[in-house]
A and B are shown apart, each in its own frame.
Chain A
Amino acid sequence: MVMGSLREETDVVVIGSGPGGYVAALRLADLGENVLLVESRERPGGTCLLEGCIPSKALIHTVEIQETARRAAEFGLTFDNVKIDPVKLREWTDGIVQGLSDGIKGLLKRRGVTVLRGHARFTSPTSLSLEGGEVSGVDFKQAIIATGSSLNRLPAGIVQSVWSSADALKLPCVPESLLVVGGGYIGLEMGLVYQGLGSKVSVVEFFPRLLMGADFDLVDVMVKQVTERLEEIMVDSKVLSIAEAGGGGFDVRIEHGGQTIEKHYAQVLVAIGRRPNTDDIGLENTRVKTDDKGFILTGPDCRTDEPNIFAIGDAATGPMLAHKASREGKVAAEVIGKGDAVFDNRAIPAVVFTDPEIAWTGLTEREAEEQGIAVNIGRFPLSALGRARTLGRTDGLVKMIAEPDTGLILGVGIVGPMASELIAEATLAVEMGATLEDLMVTIHPHPTLSEALMEAAEVAAGEAVHINPPRKVR
């Protein structure tokens, strides 16, 4: 075989094997399409599996058990020697990632999906070149762009030996002190992991609040809990420079509260968002359009302005979430394979795996305010819930956001243990067009955290049993 001369031909090519791309490829194969998957990395799975959701959750779970063990002293359970072995933990995490990635390989293989290695660039609306693989190009009838996103880097002039979240996930070491630049969900999740591993962790955030995307009342509950675990939280602050210090570590200059402070940290983790991988895939050779941030514009059927090219996941507009990518992958596959599908979801849940967790779905209270939508809100604190007491975790609340006249549930916000699991029922409620009544009448098992959803619905409807009614004004 002559390198660089072999071309493949296919009906559909999917570019990228993350949770959007591989799902699309599997669905297309099941619909009887001739499909080819292109991936630039060695393994399938994308950011989510290889250096995102999955490994981070393994680390977070470990640290949470340690934290729970520490809290357990309150109810008489003590452990003499709780400690984390980073080497063992790294192996365990790698094992999970490998296992899942092999699982995807198996799924693709059993469906007869050819996987090609290489960096794809469109050379026309029906052809692309491949760099770094055995095949030099692919001719196709339809394409799905699922190229995902990359970490934003700090501006030039700042040393590049600082960690990205991908670096931090590999657990290279446990630094004595760690500065997390960026108070978003990645920064907070990783910050808490390293705190649990033994680092003294500080967080610096440019905006006035942590987790700017979430409702403030939810964030406040979480911040109250993590404050005691973190050295320092600096909001409204700007990192001016990061320099490698002579004796190891980094000297960081931060503008905070109108003055410049200089601090030394053993390590710095930069987590300042992600950008779509759309600048080096040859879009200029197609009619595909992007917005000013590089996200590909698509219609509700995930189709781009080039009618035979679709875009899904982080590369397309919308929240950068794995589950949104997977759903879009199915939509694009079904539009191609069945001619009939629309991304018409009413709710895309968002989850932050801090401790306590934060999750929300559908309309947020802030969006309602900004858009001038009248809403009826019911808040139920976990402190009033039996199961939360037995877990020793009363730090949390469930917030139900409903349409005032009809009780139609528009959104739900949760902070507390297992918020990531509880949000699923809330998402189903929003998706199905459930009303407060629907949640109130549905019997929730007792004693569980899920009762908080039912209780919050009762609060919103003004029929709460377990909360004192508002005092009547005489």
Chain B
Amino acid sequence: MFEFKLPDLGEGIAEGEILKWHVTEGGTVLEDAPLVDVETDKAAVTIPSPRGGRIASLRGKVGDTVNVGAVVVVIDDGAAAEAKAPAKTASAPTSAPAAALAPAQVPVAPGGPQRPVPAAPATRRLARELKVDINVVPASGPAGRVTPEDVHRFASGAPAPVVQAPVPAAHAPTPPDHIAARAVRDDTAFAEFAAHASATIPFLEIEPMPDFSHEGPVVVEPLRSIRRKVARKMVTSMALVPHVAHMDDADVTDLEAFRLRERERRQGGAGSRMTLMAFVIKAVTAGLRATPAFNASLDPFREEIVYKKYYNIGFAADTGRGLVVPVIHGTDTKSIVQLADAIADKAMRAREGTLPADEMRGGTFTITNVGPLGGTALLATINYPEVAILGMGRVQEKPVVRDGQIVIRKILPLTLAFDHRVADGADAARFVAELARQLSDPNLLLLET
């Protein structure tokens, strides 16, 4: 028997949600054949089977969240039976809650029954309270001892401790670990957290959610995976970054005519899926080179602004499971055709959930286009720690005045939300105006290739 545990998926990812099983109980699997699709905060991955054999049991259903290190599948690979489990666990009743992920089936070290991991009883209780399997918590104590901090860190989904860069004392004290928001699971913890948060921010008043079911029927589902990641990103961005938005219109009549013509001509070949986004990315890249402030990050602890000399532009994609942001690296070195193909390819893989994590990393600027769905303008939230995000509204034919005449033109509404700590309104006005100018004349974009 071989117990396959959810492997380390990198980047401090502590858990994954089962998207799809490629195997069934009782079926057979070949070594390296796809076993299970797991979605993490960052990406969906297909995990291949490390062994060939018969599937003795699957330890989770589609939709279940599995901790890294927990057994996900047991494969009968013909090897000798595993070390006899301690008698106490022999009859774990089927009614035990979350039996599939019960701590009883934790990593069995070679050579004999496993004792509970070294940890103080109080720490073990803490883990139970936070619904964490202490046996898979990465330990930071001596001799593999799991500390309360380890449990809190694991429960909050934060990465295991790495060497901390020396950070000058922040002005606001960080909340003690035990009242981190992620650990708020009961009334006492909530009160403690709310008190701390309220003490930090004047006028802030956090109260427990009312019981909505008193008002009418509700459906409750846990916040997990992409949804949770988005929640964290957005709260962090809104809390840390003073957002300012600047709006302008781009006349894309000529560009759209050119694009549709080219697209038609390229049927079946490169650039055949050419979208407005490809042109916008090209124009934005040109703008970022001219205005480095929008391709920067502000480090509030070191009090430094980091200007990036590389251009990785992300675009928001609605995948059906939530928002992800594929990143196109080195947009300054790619032609519009190459950009168009990259967009189509990454968007498709993002929707399938097969886009690897490193293709969603390292962005320096983000563009979000809700135009196809409608909208005259939008105010996007900056993809922290980037400095700006460009929102594209719907391209619409509108009456505009040109040379004293009312004419009908195709208008693209643009909104740049930016970090006012790093750039000012004038920078934004110039940036968006130049963007609009470039998009109004395809010939100008030629100069940027």
The answer to whether B143 and A304 touch across the interface, beta carbons within 8 angstroms, is no
Q: How far is the CA of A299 from the CA of B95 in the complex (A)?
A: 11
The answer to whether A291 and B116 touch across the interface, beta carbons within 8 angstroms, is no
Q: How far is the CA of A362 from the CA of B129 in the complex (A)?
A: 26
Looking at the assembled complex, report how far the CB atom of B85 sits from the nearest CB atom of chain A, in whole angstroms. 11
The answer to whether A373 and B119 touch across the interface, beta carbons within 8 angstroms, is no
CB of A403 within 8 A of chain B? yes
Complex: chain B residue closest to A287, CB-CB: B93
Known contacts A299-B104, A300-B104, A433-B145: does B91 contact A372 (CB below 8 Å)?
Answer: no
Chain B residues contacting A300 (CB-CB under 8 Å) are 88-89, 92, 103-104
Q: How far is the CA of A406 from the CA of B139 in the complex (A)?
A: 13
Chain B residues contacting A297 (CB-CB under 8 Å) are 87, 90-91
The answer to whether A291 and B87 touch across the interface, beta carbons within 8 angstroms, is yes
A window 291-341: CB within 8 A of B: 291, 295, 297-301, 303-307, 317-318, 340-341
Question: B88, B112, B120: which contacts A433 (Cβ < 8 A)?
Answer: B120
CB of A442 within 8 A of chain B? no
A window 5-39: CB within 8 A of B: none
CB of B442 within 8 A of chain A? no
Q: 15 A-B pairs, CB-CB below 8 angstroms?
A: A291-B87, A297-B91, A299-B104, A300-B89, A301-B96, A317-B87, A317-B88, A344-B116, A371-B111, A372-B111, A407-B143, A432-B120, A432-B121, A433-B118, A437-B142
The answer to whether A304 and B91 touch across the interface, beta carbons within 8 angstroms, is yes
Known contacts A299-B91, A345-B116: does B143 contact A408 (CB below 8 Å)?
Answer: yes
Question: A289, A299, A340, A363: which contacts B88 (Cβ < 8 A)?
Answer: A299
The answer to whether B128 and A307 touch across the interface, beta carbons within 8 angstroms, is no
The answer to whether B113 and A371 touch across the interface, beta carbons within 8 angstroms, is yes
- Name the residue in B89, B93, B103, B119 with the highest tally of chain A Cβ atoms < 10 Å from its Cβ: B93
CB of A394 within 8 A of chain B? no
Chain B residues contacting A163 (CB-CB under 8 Å) are none
CB of B232 within 8 A of chain A? no
Chain A residues contacting B92 (CB-CB under 8 Å) are 299-300
Chain B residues contacting A307 (CB-CB under 8 Å) are 93, 95
Looking at the assembled complex, report how far the CB atom of B66 sits from the nearest CB atom of chain A, in whole angstroms. 20
What mask results when residues 209 to 235 of chain A are scored 1 for a CB within 8 Å of chain B, else 0?
000000000000000000000000000
Known contacts A299-B104, A340-B128, A346-B115: does B142 contact A406 (CB below 8 Å)?
Answer: yes
Interface residues of B (CB under 8 A from A): 83, 87-93, 95-96, 103-104, 111-113, 115-121, 124, 128-129, 141-146
Chain B residues contacting A344 (CB-CB under 8 Å) are 103, 116, 124
Chain B residues contacting A362 (CB-CB under 8 Å) are 115
Chain B residues contacting A340 (CB-CB under 8 Å) are 128-129
Known contacts A372-B111, A433-B141, A437-B142: does B128 contact A298 (CB below 8 Å)?
Answer: no
Q: How far is the CA of A318 from the CA of B89 in the complex (A)?
A: 11
Question: B120, B129, B144: which contacts A408 (Cβ < 8 A)?
Answer: B144
The answer to whether B128 and A433 touch across the interface, beta carbons within 8 angstroms, is no
Looking at the assembled complex, report how far the CB atom of B101 sits from the nearest CB atom of chain A, in whole angstroms. 14
The answer to whether A372 and B87 touch across the interface, beta carbons within 8 angstroms, is no
The answer to whether A406 and B128 touch across the interface, beta carbons within 8 angstroms, is no
Complex: chain A residue closest to B113, CB-CB: A371
The answer to whether B88 and A318 touch across the interface, beta carbons within 8 angstroms, is yes
The answer to whether B91 and A408 touch across the interface, beta carbons within 8 angstroms, is no
The answer to whether B120 and A303 touch across the interface, beta carbons within 8 angstroms, is no
A window 370-427: CB within 8 A of B: 371-373, 403, 406-408
Q: How far is the CA of A300 from the CA of B83 in the complex (A)?
A: 18
The answer to whether B93 and A406 touch across the interface, beta carbons within 8 angstroms, is no
The answer to whether B111 and A406 touch across the interface, beta carbons within 8 angstroms, is no
Chain A residues contacting B96 (CB-CB under 8 Å) are 299, 301, 303
Chain A residues contacting B95 (CB-CB under 8 Å) are 303, 307
Chain B residues contacting A437 (CB-CB under 8 Å) are 142
How many A-B residue pairs have C-beta atoms within 8 angstroms? Tell me. 93
Complex: chain B residue closest to A437, CB-CB: B142
Chain A residues contacting B128 (CB-CB under 8 Å) are 340-342
The answer to whether A299 and B89 touch across the interface, beta carbons within 8 angstroms, is yes
The answer to whether A408 and B118 touch across the interface, beta carbons within 8 angstroms, is yes
Complex: chain A residue closest to B120, CB-CB: A432
Looking at the assembled complex, report how far the CB atom of B145 sits from the nearest CB atom of chain A, in whole angstroms. 4
Interface residues of A (CB under 8 A from B): 289, 291, 295, 297-301, 303-307, 317-318, 340-346, 362-363, 367, 371-373, 403, 406-408, 431-433, 435, 437
Looking at the assembled complex, report how far the CB atom of A460 sits from the nearest CB atom of chain B, in whole angstroms. 13
The answer to whether B112 and A371 touch across the interface, beta carbons within 8 angstroms, is yes
Chain B residues contacting A432 (CB-CB under 8 Å) are 118-121, 145
Q: How far is the CA of A435 from the CA of B144 in the complex (A)?
A: 10
Q: How far is the CA of A91 from the CA of B319 in the complex (A)?
A: 82
Question: A301, A306, A431: which contacts B121 (Cβ < 8 A)?
Answer: A431
Chain B residues contacting A343 (CB-CB under 8 Å) are 88
Chain A residues contacting B121 (CB-CB under 8 Å) are 345, 431-432
Chain B residues contacting A345 (CB-CB under 8 Å) are 116, 121
- Contacts A431-B120, A432-B145 known; list 12 others, CB within 8 Å: A289-B91, A295-B87, A304-B93, A307-B93, A307-B95, A342-B103, A363-B115, A371-B111, A371-B113, A373-B112, A408-B144, A433-B118
The answer to whether B119 and A299 touch across the interface, beta carbons within 8 angstroms, is no
Looking at the assembled complex, report how far the CB atom of B400 sits from the nearest CB atom of chain A, in whole angstroms. 66
The answer to whether B88 and A298 touch across the interface, beta carbons within 8 angstroms, is yes
Chain A residues contacting B124 (CB-CB under 8 Å) are 342, 344
Q: How far is the CA of A318 from the CA of B119 in the complex (A)?
A: 22
The answer to whether A403 and B143 touch across the interface, beta carbons within 8 angstroms, is yes
Chain B residues contacting A371 (CB-CB under 8 Å) are 83, 111-113
Known contacts A298-B88, A346-B116, A372-B111: does B93 contact A303 (CB below 8 Å)?
Answer: yes
Those 9 A-B pairs whose CB atoms lie nearest each other, nearest first: A433-B118, A371-B112, A297-B91, A406-B143, A408-B143, A307-B95, A433-B145, A299-B92, A372-B111
The answer to whether A346 and B88 touch across the interface, beta carbons within 8 angstroms, is no
Chain A residues contacting B83 (CB-CB under 8 Å) are 371
Chain A residues contacting B145 (CB-CB under 8 Å) are 408, 432-433, 435
Looking at the assembled complex, report how far the CB atom of B33 sits from the nearest CB atom of chain A, in whole angstroms. 33
Chain A residues contacting B120 (CB-CB under 8 Å) are 431-433
Chain A residues contacting B141 (CB-CB under 8 Å) are 433
Known contacts A373-B112, A433-B119: does B93 contact A299 (CB below 8 Å)?
Answer: yes
Looking at the assembled complex, report how far the CB atom of B368 sits from the nearest CB atom of chain A, in whole angstroms. 44
Q: How far is the CA of A289 from the CA of B91 in the complex (A)?
A: 8
Chain B residues contacting A291 (CB-CB under 8 Å) are 87, 90
The answer to whether A433 and B143 touch across the interface, beta carbons within 8 angstroms, is yes
Complex: chain B residue closest to A343, CB-CB: B88
Chain A residues contacting B119 (CB-CB under 8 Å) are 432-433
Complex: chain A residue closest to B110, CB-CB: A372
Looking at the assembled complex, report how far the CB atom of B285 sits from the nearest CB atom of chain A, in whole angstroms. 53
- Name the residue in A291, A300, A341, A406 with the highest tally of chain B Cβ atoms < 10 Å from its Cβ: A300
Q: How far is the CA of A300 from the CA of B145 in the complex (A)?
A: 21
The answer to whether A435 and B91 touch across the interface, beta carbons within 8 angstroms, is no
Complex: chain A residue closest to B129, CB-CB: A340
The answer to whether B143 and A305 touch across the interface, beta carbons within 8 angstroms, is no
Complex: chain A residue closest to B90, CB-CB: A297
Q: How far is the CA of A307 from the CA of B88 in the complex (A)?
A: 15
Chain B residues contacting A431 (CB-CB under 8 Å) are 120-121
Chain B residues contacting A295 (CB-CB under 8 Å) are 87
Looking at the assembled complex, report how far the CB atom of B136 sits from the nearest CB atom of chain A, in whole angstroms. 14
Complex: chain A residue closest to B112, CB-CB: A371
Complex: chain B residue closest to A362, CB-CB: B115
Looking at the assembled complex, report how far the CB atom of B83 sits from the nearest CB atom of chain A, in whole angstroms. 8
Looking at the assembled complex, report how far the CB atom of B220 sits from the nearest CB atom of chain A, in whole angstroms. 19
Complex: chain A residue closest to B135, CB-CB: A344
The answer to whether A305 and B91 touch across the interface, beta carbons within 8 angstroms, is yes
Complex: chain A residue closest to B134, CB-CB: A344
Q: How far is the CA of A408 from the CA of B117 in the complex (A)?
A: 11
The answer to whether B93 and A305 touch across the interface, beta carbons within 8 angstroms, is yes
